[in-house]
Chain A
Amino acid sequence: MAKVPVQFTLNGAEKAEFVDSGTTLLHALRDKIGDTSPKGGCHQGTCGACSVIIDGELRLSCLTLAETCNGAEIRTTSGLAEAGVLHPLQRAFLDAFATQCGFCTPGMIMAAKVLLDHTPNPSREEVVEALSSNICRCTGYEPIIQAVLRAARANSQNAA
């Protein structure tokens, strides 16, 4: 099968791959580039575990074709920490006990990051709405909601 060239930045670094036409971004990231932080829970756009950020917007990488991402700026949870220092959202998920099995966590953090990038001081309702496409089966949503609110508070304190 003819391969298609794909080139984009992943967490700031240039990446280039040849993929089969029709390859999902999830497959390209995980199996070609080796960033396994986006997870495949359903491969049909319902669980949110594969969520990534493409050009500032939240996207499901299992429903995005890799070949449509040429020139895009892609961010994943694995690139969130800087020089080994956790991002405030990662810190808040840790401190608020918002992880259990951890499988939904990278997708949750992506959804929360897009929310806070656009809405630095969200209401609880806005947090719930922002996480509504991400399924957690173990911890329950309350600690996750609290973690996002905690990260927002930490951000606003730093800004003040």
Chain B
Amino acid sequence: MELRKNYFADVRKDGLNEIGQPRPRLDSPGHVTGKTAYFADRNFPDMLHLKMVRSPHHHARIRSIDTSAAEKHPGVVKILTAKDVPHNVYTILILIQIGPEDETVLADGKVRWKGEAVVAVLAETERAAQEAAAKVKVDYEVLPAVFDMEEALKPGAPLVNEYHGQNHYLYDSGECRKVRFGDVEAGFAGADHILEQSYQSSPIEHAPTETTGCVVAPEGNDRFTCYTNTQAMFFTLDNTSIILQMPGSKLHFVGGTVGGGFGGKVDVIVEPIAILGAKLTGRPVCFIYSREEEMQISSPRAAEKVVIKDGVMKDGRIVARKVTGYTDAGAYSRHSPYGAQKGAAHYPGPYTIPNVWIDTYCVYTNRTPSSAMRGFGVTIGDFALEVQMDKLARLIGMDPLEFRFVNAYRDGDMKAHRQPTEGAALIECMQEASRAANWPVAEEFMAMSSYTKGA
């Protein structure tokens, strides 16, 4: 596909010499020779294997944990429960003051989702760890669970997470993130047509070929080297430092090589417990998710629900947009309060609309905690918005691409969350798409520019 190359040619003075030139990937020679070192390629003598005992229930009180039979299993070296973790209740984003701490490294008194980590077993072999984990007896009192965001927000719904006190994240703006711009009700009142639609998505698993994990080696001086495939090296280092109450100088993280991440490896899950195991046994520890754990236990993209109400004029102008977004965090926050907040800023879409009202909720349910995945907070929103745009165009009998030209934001336009538009280039992208896709639009749209309001 040949693109015109003269867009913004006057903006950059630094001749773009690399553009259009193939450059070898730096990591490719290692990949094709099998020499690239992934975390699991590190092997140490006397390395222990860690397996997790997980909750079979979506929501339950833990009456008791009996590890006596597991301790006697041949090859078992150490069994860890909540009391062994120095700072057991944590939340990843506490590093940027997004609290409260709401998640346990190992369950303490309660489990809030099916698959939650309860007891860690360290043994000489993977097989011994697996067999011993099956011998851990946990007595549960099953509690009512809630799996639907709207059910979770109703009065009287089972409380998912006591650290929040209600089934939604409490922002400084209240029960949701809010954007208020213009007068949305006046906009609806003056519109030729109103269209309200609801869009929903399921959780999506990243399914990396390399499963989540780490290998930890004690350095013999109370310092630990952790080989990990985390996508969030310093988040992991700092959170591990908090959870284990160890200074960062005692933690040496080695990573950067990830066998597929897609956002699925930004949570801090395997490293703290593996380092704790290495600290308490003095031996190297390997904790690698099985394929089943990767698919069932690791955070997926959040399920979302997006309700969009638009007021549109016959000439194509959207005059009012009201969006209510719901992000299903599952049982714990992880990155979801941030994802829901990102949605609030994003929901008007790349369009200039004079009257906007947005509420986005981060909701807790007894589902697998969700977290980051490629553009989380905006990807599902974009799906909803662009389907809505097509429906609106059809409603007023306008070409869907021309409809987007009418509403496209341009440099200098004020966005609903009060950031002025800069370097938009949306008009130019659509002009090029019109040509490349052979989807012609009227000449007035081909003459438009992102730089100026006038055609």
Contacts and interface: CB of A to CB of B under 8 A. Distances in A.
A6 B45 CA distance: 20
Interface residues of B, number: 31
Nearest to A147: B32
A66 to B, nearest CB: 15
A103 B29 contact: no
A93 B34 contact: no
A42 B291 contact: yes
Interface string A112-155: 00000000000000000000000111100000000000000000
Contact of B38 (A34, A35, A103, A137): A103
B31 interface: yes
Interface stretch (B137-145, B175-183, B204-212, B382-390): B204-212
A2 interface: no
A47 B209 contact: yes
Given A36-B34, A80-B33, A86-B33, A99 B43 contact: no
A113 to B, nearest CB: 12
Nearest to B33: A81
A5 interface: no
A78 B33 contact: yes
B209 A101 contact: yes
Contacts, number: 102
A61 interface: no
Interface string B408-420: 0000000000000
Nearest to B125: A20
Contacts of B22: 97
Contact of A102 (B31, B40, B43, B211): B31
Interface in B238-266: 258-262
B68 interface: no
A94 B24 contact: yes
Interface in B396-414: none
A51 to B, nearest CB: 11
Contacts of B208: 101, 103, 137
A37 B34 contact: yes
Contacts of A103: 38, 208-210, 259-260
A37 B290 CA distance: 19
B29 A41 contact: no
Contacts of B30: 102
B32 A105 contact: yes
Contacts of B25: 94, 97, 99
Q: Which of A77, A97, A103 has the most CB of B within 10 A?
A: A103
A76 B34 contact: yes
B36 interface: yes
Contacts of A40: 40
Contacts of A36: 34, 37-38, 40-41, 43
B198 interface: no
A152 B330 CA distance: 49
A53 interface: no
Contacts of A105: 31-32, 34
A101 B43 contact: no
Interface string A31-53: 10011111111111011010000
Contacts of A39: 38, 40, 209-210, 259
A30 B43 contact: yes
A128 B31 CA distance: 21
A100 B22 CA distance: 15
Nearest to B295: A42
A44 B259 contact: no
Contacts of A42: 291
B28 A94 contact: yes
A89 B33 CA distance: 10
Given A97-B25, A109-B32, A138 B260 contact: yes
B291 A102 contact: no
B298 to A, nearest CB: 13
Interface in B172-219: 206-211
Contact of B35 (A41, A49, A78, A99): A78
Contacts of A86: 29, 32-33
B444 interface: no
B41 A102 contact: no
B32 A94 contact: yes
A93 B25 CA distance: 11
A77 B33 contact: yes
Contacts of A76: 34
Contacts of A47: 209, 291
Contacts of B35: 37, 78
Given A41-B291, A101-B259, A106 B34 contact: yes
A93 B260 CA distance: 18
Contacts of A34: 43
A89 B32 CA distance: 9
Q: Which of A39, A80, A109 has the most CB of B within 10 A?
A: A39
B291 A99 contact: no
Given A36-B40, A81-B33, A136-B209, 19 more contacts: A30-B41, A35-B34, A36-B43, A47-B209, A76-B34, A77-B33, A93-B32, A94-B28, A94-B29, A97-B28, A101-B208, A101-B210, A102-B30, A102-B31, A103-B260, A106-B34, A135-B209, A137-B206, A137-B207
7 contacts: A36-B40, A39-B40, A41-B209, A43-B290, A77-B34, A91-B32, A93-B31
Please name the 3 residue pairs, one residue from A and one from B, whose CB atoms are nearest each other, closest first.
A37-B34, A102-B31, A103-B259
